[in-house]
């Protein structure tokens, strides 16, 4: 198989940083949902309370999916780096 | 005595939530987005050339999501600030109406007792005026409620389209599921557990199942879904950038929200950002398709080549609009500049090595049959990918199918390579190889039946 270039060490470092970013986004998602509950408690009007909690739950859910995608990118970078090392016997471009 | 009920609610509590949402909007939309772009650029510079386009596509989708999340948080915050303002005004006005009504009532009663008909009548008129004022306040708050409800429903619809009435936990679950590509799912029960018992560590553990499949499915979805990809039109994007810039400038100047004028400007900036965001999804179809094709081809033909190919395919779309495919992609310029040379060199190399793999698979009787089959399939995939890469690089092919062949061939080739070397691969690598093979099957079935 032909592998065109690539830097496994850089990929590993980037993958770790992407995992941290994914963790941060997960925390953001939960914080957004928590703000929905907080705002609902202050709204006074039941309809507004329900809508704001629902809207922020939707935004939080989308943030969860984004965190999963970023984690997927991290996993992809890790896998690609591992494949490079294996395919070149550790002697490929680094 | 309170004749008119004071509207319930805590404007200060709402404004505290607005401040937190504003901060979260900046964090997710700008800070996280900037980090993702920077890390994406690093990863794309370190990946094998054949994988850069697919990775960049998936990363671009995630970057777009962070930007949209930031704007959505700003929009929800703007709606809540609007409601907090209306609620506080209503509470203040109703309390005033109650005081005026009570004073007029006392005056009227005293005048009646004293036989002062004129003063009694004046008191009753004041009571009627206070009652009318309280009624007007109620109507004003009702209008604000409808306005805010519309804005909040729009945000729910943005992430969970056409869902009808949803509970918060249903919205959470559906939004997460809808944004993930087909074939990638986080179990509904897990999502519900995380929502009702929020904990970052638990959430991360629970979402692990979705991680492996996320990249592979999403990169291929990006390519195969070319015809229905949405992108922002140049003009709409410029308006969005301007509105967000104005909002950020105002926010960065630490506005005094207790000042009514400052507060009104703040609200107006947020509403403008929301309005142009709504418009930004109205990009003409040809422009969306042209920008998407341009972004796909850039990884093979470089910026100039991709622009020429795309312009030839979409003569009605201005080149300037095509080339400005998105502010989120500009960081990748060095990668696109090097792309044509890499494609012209690596495409033929992949063809040669793939051909050699096929030859040895046919002639090497000393190896097990399944290894020879995997070796031959991998070689064939290498040939297909190499041919497609070369044709794309020299401009003889300039369509999404060519890009898809390269992406799919890469997945198949790696899957076959992993199968051949299965005995030497550690357990973790074996799991990855299985996922690659599974993804490859889905790709071929999805694209070619």
| Ramachandran angles phi, psi of B366, nearest 5° | -80, -10
Whole-angstrom distance, CA of residue B167 vs CA of residue A33: 13
Query: Does the structure show a pLDDT above 60 at B399?
Result: no
Query: Does the structure show a pLDDT above 90 at B167?
Result: yes
Report the pLDDT value the prediction gives residue B440, as an integer from 0 to 100: 35
End-to-end CA distance of chain A: 18
Residue from B417, B341, B357, B350 nearest B387 by CA: B350
Share of chain A above pLDDT 90, in %: 49
Query: Does the structure show a pLDDT above 90 at B414?
Result: no
Which segment of B129-133, B157-161, B233-237, B431-435 scores lowest on mean pLDDT?
Answer: B431-435
* Length of chain A as a residue count: 94
> Do the Cβ atoms of A30 and A23 come closer than 8 Å?
no
In chain B, residues 73-132 whose CB comes closer than 8 Å to chain A: 73, 76, 79-80, 83, 87
Total beta-carbon pairs less than 8 A apart between chain A and chain B:
295
Report the pLDDT value the prediction gives residue B349, as an integer from 0 to 100: 59
Residue B14 near chain A (CB below 8 Å): yes
What are the Cα distances from residue A91, in Å, to A1, A84, B204? 15, 9, 35
Residue B402 token pair:
């060519």
Q: What is the mean pLDDT of residues B321-349?
A: 50
Q: To probe the interface with A, which of B17, B72, B354 has the most A CB atoms within 10 Å? A: B17
Residue B442 token pair:
């889905």
Give DSSP secondary structure letters for B310-367.
Answer: HHHH-TTS-HHHHH---GGGGGGHHHHHHHHHHHHHHHHHHHHHHHHHHHHHHH-TTS
Residue B152 near chain A (CB below 8 Å): yes
Query: Does the structure show a pLDDT above 50 at B41?
Result: yes
Work out the pLDDT band at B406, boundaries 50, 70, 90.
Answer: low
Q: Residue B391, CB half-sphere, CA atoms under 13 Å: how many?
A: 18
Report the pLDDT value the prediction gives residue B433, as an integer from 0 to 100: 36
ipTM of the complex in this document: 0.90
Residue A85 near chain B (CB below 8 Å): no
Query: Does the structure show a pLDDT above 60 at B226?
Result: no
Residue B42 near chain A (CB below 8 Å): yes
Report the pLDDT value the prediction gives residue B313, as an integer from 0 to 100: 74
Which segment of A35-39, B27-31, B323-327, B351-355 scores lowest on mean pLDDT?
Answer: B323-327
CB contact under 8 A, B148 and A21: no
Whole-angstrom distance, CA of residue B426 vs CA of residue B146: 60
Which segment of B76-85, B182-191, B325-334 scores lowest on mean pLDDT?
Answer: B325-334
Closest approach of chain B CAs to the CA of A38, in angstroms? Answer: 7
**B146 exposed, middle or buried (CB, 10 Å; 0-12, 13-18, 19+)?**
exposed
Q: Which comes out higher in pLDDT, residue A55 or B332? A: A55
How does the average pLDDT of chain B come out, rounded?
A: 71
**Which of the residue ranges B129-138, B162-171, B380-389 has the most confident prediction, judged by mean pLDDT?**
B129-138
Work out the pLDDT band at B449, boundaries 50, 70, 90.
Answer: very low
CB contact under 8 A, B215 and A23: no
CB contact under 8 A, B14 and A42: yes
Q: What is the mean pLDDT of residues B386-400?
A: 57
Give DSSP secondary structure letters for B400-418.
Answer: HHHHHHHHHHHHHHHHHHH
CB contact under 8 A, B66 and A24: no
Query: Does the structure show a pLDDT above 60 at B337?
Result: no
Share of chain B above pLDDT 70, in %: 51
Residue B119 token pair:
């003063």
Residue A69 near chain B (CB below 8 Å): yes
- Which pTM does this prediction carry? 0.58
Query: Does the structure show a pLDDT above 50 at B238?
Result: yes
What are the Cα distances from residue B189, in Å, to A3, A23, A58, B31, B303? 41, 20, 16, 31, 45
Whole-angstrom distance, CA of residue B356 vs CA of residue B354: 5
Query: Does the structure show a pLDDT above 50 at B339?
Result: no
């Amino acid at each position: 198989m032909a592998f065109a270039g690539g830097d496994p060490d850089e990929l590993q470092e980037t993958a770790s940083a992407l995992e941290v970013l994914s963790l941060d986004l997960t925390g953001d998602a939960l914080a957004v949902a928590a703000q929905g509950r907080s705002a609902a408690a202050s709204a006074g009007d039941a309809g507004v309370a329900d809508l704001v909690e629902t809207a922020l739950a939707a935004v939080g859910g989308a943030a969860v999916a984004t965190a999963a995608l970023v984690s997927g990118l991290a996993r992809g970078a890790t896998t690609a780096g591992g494949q490079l090392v294996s395919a070149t016997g550790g002697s490929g471009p680094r | 005595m309170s004749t008119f009920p004071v509207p319930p609610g805590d404007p200060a509590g709402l404004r505290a939530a607005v401040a937190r949402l504003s901060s979260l909007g900046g964090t997710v939309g700008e800070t996280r987005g900037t980090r993702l772009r920077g890390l994406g650029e690093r990863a794309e510079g370190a990946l094998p050339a054949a994988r850069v386009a697919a990775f960049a596509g998936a990363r671009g989708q995630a970057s777009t999501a962070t930007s949209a999340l930031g704007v959505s948080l700003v929009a929800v915050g703007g709606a809540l600030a609007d409601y907090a303002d209306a609620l506080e005004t209503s509470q203040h006005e109703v309390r005033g109406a109650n005081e005026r009504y009570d004073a007029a009532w006392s005056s009227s009663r005293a005048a009646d007792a004293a036989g002062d008909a004129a003063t009694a009548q004046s008191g009753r008129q004041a009571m009627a005026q206070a009652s009318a004022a309280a009624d007007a306040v109620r109507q004003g708050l009702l209008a604000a409620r409808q306005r805010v409800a519309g804005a909040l429903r729009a945000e729910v619809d943005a992430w969970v389209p056409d869902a009808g009435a949803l509970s918060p936990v249903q919205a959470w679950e559906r939004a997460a599921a809808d944004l993930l590509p087909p074939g990638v799912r986080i179990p509904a029960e897990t999502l519900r557990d995380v929502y009702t018992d929020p904990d970052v560590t638990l959430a991360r553990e629970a979402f692990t199942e979705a991680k492996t499949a996320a990249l592979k499915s999403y990169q291929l979805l990006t390519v195969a879904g070319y015809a229905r990809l949405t992108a922002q039109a140049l003009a709409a994007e410029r308006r969005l950038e301007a509105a967000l810039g104005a909002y950020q400038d105002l926010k960065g100047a630490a506005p005094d929200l207790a000042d009514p004028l400052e507060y009104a400007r703040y609200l107006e900036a947020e509403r403008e950002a929301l309005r142009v965001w709504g418009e930004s999804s109205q990009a003409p179809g040809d422009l969306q398709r042209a920008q998407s094709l341009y972004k796909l081809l850039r990884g093979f033909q470089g910026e100039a080549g991709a622009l020429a190919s795309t312009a030839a395919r979409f003569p009605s779309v201005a080149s300037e609009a095509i080339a400005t495919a998105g502010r989120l992609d500009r960081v990748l310029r060095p990668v696109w500049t090097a792309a044509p040379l890499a494609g012209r060199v690596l495409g033929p190399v992949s063809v040669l090595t793939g051909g050699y793999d096929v030859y040895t698979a046919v002639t090497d009787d000393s190896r097990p049959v399944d290894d020879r089959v995997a070796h031959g399939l991998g070689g064939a995939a290498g040939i297909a990918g190499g041919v497609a890469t070369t044709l794309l690089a020299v401009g003889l092919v300039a369509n999404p199918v060519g890009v898809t062949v390269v992406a799919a061939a890469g997945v198949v080739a790696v899957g076959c390579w992993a199968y051949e070397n299965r005995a030497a691969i550690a357990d973790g690598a074996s799991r990855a190889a299985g996922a690659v093979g599974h993804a490859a099957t889905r790709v071929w079935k999805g694209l070619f039946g």
